[in-house]
Amino acid sequence: MTMLTLALVASTFLATPIDDAREPNVILIMADDLGLAELGCTGGTRIRTPHIDALREGGMLFTNAYSGSTVCAPSRCTLLTGLHTGHAQVRDNGETPNFTGRPNDPATETIGGWKVPPEPNGFWGGQMSLEPGTETIGTALKRAGYATCGLGKWGLGGPDSVGHPNQQGFDHWFGYLCQRNAHNYYPTYLMRNNDRVTLEGNDRGLVGKQYATDLMVDEACAFVRSHADEPFLLYYATPVPHLALQVPDDSLAEYSGLWDDPPYEGGQGYLPHPEPRAAYAAMVTRFDRDIGRLVALLDELGIRDDTIIIVTSDNGSTFDLGGYDPEFFDGTGGLRGAKTWLHEGGIRVPLIVDWPGHVEAGSSSDVLVANWDIFPTILGLTGNSDEDVSEKDGIDLTPILLGTGKAPERDSLYWEFHSRGGLQALRSGKWKALRSGAHADAEAPIELYDLESDPAEEHDVAAAHPEVVARMDRLMKTSRTPSPIQRWNFGPEARGIEQRDDADTPRVTRRWTGRGDGISFADPANWTGEAEILVGAIRDVFVIDDGAAVVGGKAGCTTITCDGGELEVRLGRMTGSNKGFRNGALRITGGSVDRQFLLGTEVTLGGSGMLRLHGGAEPLNRSRVDFTSPDARLAFTNETPKDVLAEHVRKLTVNGEKAVDGDNIVIEAAGDGGSVVRMKSGDGS
C-alpha cells in the first residue's frame, strides 16, 4: 500500500488522545482452522512461525485450551459473547442467500447461497445474524471508552443486517462479512463498514492482484497508528489458513521445492494448486509475518508494553479436503478427529497471551480454558472487571495471567454441534464425554474417555464407569437451554418433528409425478429446479421411478435427513455431489445417486443402480452398503482402491454376508483417480 493510500485509510479513523495513564490496548487474533500443533511453539516442525513463537516466549501458553466450536460461525459467537454453544445464539453455521444487489433494494433478488453474486453490484449474503442488543467484547469495551475495530472474517451477519459488526460494538470493520466469500483470497470485493470495496484485478481465480489479508493488515496498521494515544480493541479474525490454498508468489517461494509435493488437481472442494503443501505452509508463515508487522508497529509507536496480544484459532485443523494434507502437517498433534468433530482434534487449539511486564515470559498453564473465557478475561485485564459478566459462561483468567491467584472454579466445559447428526461433548477434569446421533435420540449412548491416560480418545471406558457417565449426562442436560432455532436442539420433539405411532399411521409411499409448486422435496416439480430443494426430515417412502428425473437439478439436492423415512431410486438421477444422506434407508435398484457422504444410513444397492460418493473424509460414516446384484456399482470418486480396502470394505456386505475383495467383491481403479466396487458375479468375473 502506498503512503498516500495509507494516509487515506488512516483518515477514516478518529483518534482521541487521553491521559498517559490509560487502560491497555487489546489485539485479539483468531486464526481460521489453524491446528493445535502447526506452530513452532506448539510442536510443529513443518511451518516457520517465528513471530508467534516470540509472543509465546514473551508470554503464556495455555496447554489445555479449547475453541468455542468445531466450525467457524458458532466459534466466533462464543468468542465474542462469552457464552458456550449450549447458551449461544449461533450453534452451527447458518447460511443465508446471496443477493443480486443491495439487500434492502426492492429491485434486488435473492439467489442460491453458493451461487457467486453478479458483478458489479451483487453481495454475498452472510450467515445467521447476532440479535440486536447482543453484548459482545466490542460493545463492552466501547462502553468503557475504547476505540474498536474488527477485521478479517465475520460470519455473524451480512450486509445491512442487525448482525453487522458496526451494530455489534465495532466502530470500524474491514474484510469479509460472509464466510463463503472468504473461501477465496482474491475476492472481487471486501466490505469496509457497510460499503462494498471493489478489488480491481481480482476475479476469484487462483491468483489475482490484491491478496485479501495483505489489505486487512494494512487496515489494521492504519487503525493502530490512528489510535496510538488512546485505548483500543483490534479484533483480527484472519481467514488464514482456511482453504482455498492461495498465497502470493513471494511467500510460496519460501517453501517451493522443499518437499515432495504432488499437485492437488481438485475434486475434493476448493481450488486446485500445483504445490499444495508449500502453499499451506506459506499461508501460515505469511500470517505469522503479518503479526510481526503489527508488533513492529507497536514498538515503533512506543505502545508495545501497553498492549495485550492474544492469539488463538476458531477450531482444530481441517481434514483431507481441498489439498490440505493432515498426515503431512499433523495439525492435531496426533489427537483424534479434526474440524467438524467434537473429538479433541476438532476443538483443541493454541492459545497464547502476551503482555510485556505483566504476563510472565515463557510461562505456561494447564488450566482447562475455552474461547468463551476470553471475553471476561479481557475485561479483567483491562480493569473493567466491574462489568456484569454473571450471565457469561466464561471465567476471568486474569489471576493466572498476572500471577495473583487461581482462576475461578467450574465443573466442566460443554459443547454442542448440530451437523453430523447432532453431537454433544463435555470435559470435566480428566474425563471427556461424547454423544453422537442426538438429533434422532436425545438419550443416545455416551462415550467416555480418560484423557489423562488416553489423550487420543482411542478407548471408550463408559461401561467401566457408569457413575461417571451418569454425572456427565446430568451436566450435559444442565449445561444447555433449548435454542429457539428448532434444528439446533436434540431429540425429534424438541426439533419440531411430529411423533407418530407407525402402527396407527402407516408411512405414505410418494412417487414423483413431475407436477407441483417448485418448493419442497415432497413436491416433484423440484426435480430440475435452479434452486436447492427444501428437504426437512422425511418420514415417508419416496420412490423415484421416472427415467427423465434429475432430482436436484443444477443446484443439487440438499442433504436428506430421515425421520423414519426411506428413499428408493428405481430410475432417474439424484444430484448433489457436495450433499449428504443421514439416518435412514436408501435403496438403489436403477438410476444413480450422487452424494458427498452417508451418515447412519443402510443402503441396498441392486439391479443396475449406481451410488457415487464424492467425499474425501468418511464418505461412509456409520453406514453400510449391501450389494444384491453384480450389475450394481459403488463409486468413490476421491478414494483409491487401497483406500477402499483400508477404510471401507468392512462397511460393505454382499447379500448380508461380509464383503471380501477377490472373493465376493471386486475393487477396481477408475480413470479419474477414484475407484469402483462391484459384486463378483457367479461365474467369477
Q: What is the pLDDT of residue 521?
A: 57
DSSP at 123: B
Q: What is the pLDDT of residue 497?
A: 59
SS3 534: strand
The position carrying cell 440479535 is 131
CA distances 188 to 14, 108, 122, Å, are 28, 19, 10
Give the separation between CA 88 and CA 73, rounded to whole angstroms.
11
- Predicted confidence (pLDDT) per residue in 48-69, tens digit: 999 999 999 999 999 999 999 9
Give the separation between CA 411 and CA 479, rounded to whole angstroms.
10
CB under 8 Å to 640, separation ≥6 — which residues?
669, 673, 674, 675
SS3 644: helix
239: nearest Cα among 196, 294, 177, 195:
177
Q: Using CA atoms of 509, 597, 343, 474 in order, give the dihedral in degrees to the nearest 10.
A: 0
**HEC profile of 568-586:** EEEEEEECCCCCEEECCEE
Q: What is the pLDDT of residue 439?
A: 84
Q: Judge whether 103 and 407 are in contact, CB under 8 Å.
A: no
> Which regions of 179-336 does DSSP assign to beta strands (E)?
189-192, 195-198, 232-237, 307-313
**Alpha carbon of residue 25 to chain centroid:** 29
CB under 8 Å to 545, separation ≥6 — which residues?
511, 512, 570, 571, 572
DSSP at 109: -
**Alpha carbon of residue 19 to chain centroid:** 42
Q: What is the pLDDT of residue 607?
A: 86
Helix-strand-coil split of the chain, %, nearest 5: 20, 25, 55
Q: What is the pLDDT of residue 567?
A: 84
Low-confidence residues of the chain: pLDDT under 70: 1-21, 387-389, 497-537, 554-555, 682-685
**Alpha carbon of residue 181 to chain centroid:** 14
User: Own/partner pairs for 183-187, CB < 8 Å, 24+ apart?
Assistant: 183/242, 183/243, 183/244, 183/270, 184/244, 184/246, 184/271, 185/211, 185/212, 185/213, 185/239, 185/244, 185/246, 185/247, 186/210, 186/211, 186/212, 186/246, 187/212
Give the separation between CA 162 and CA 154, rounded to whole angstroms.
13
The one-letter code for the residue type at 289 is R
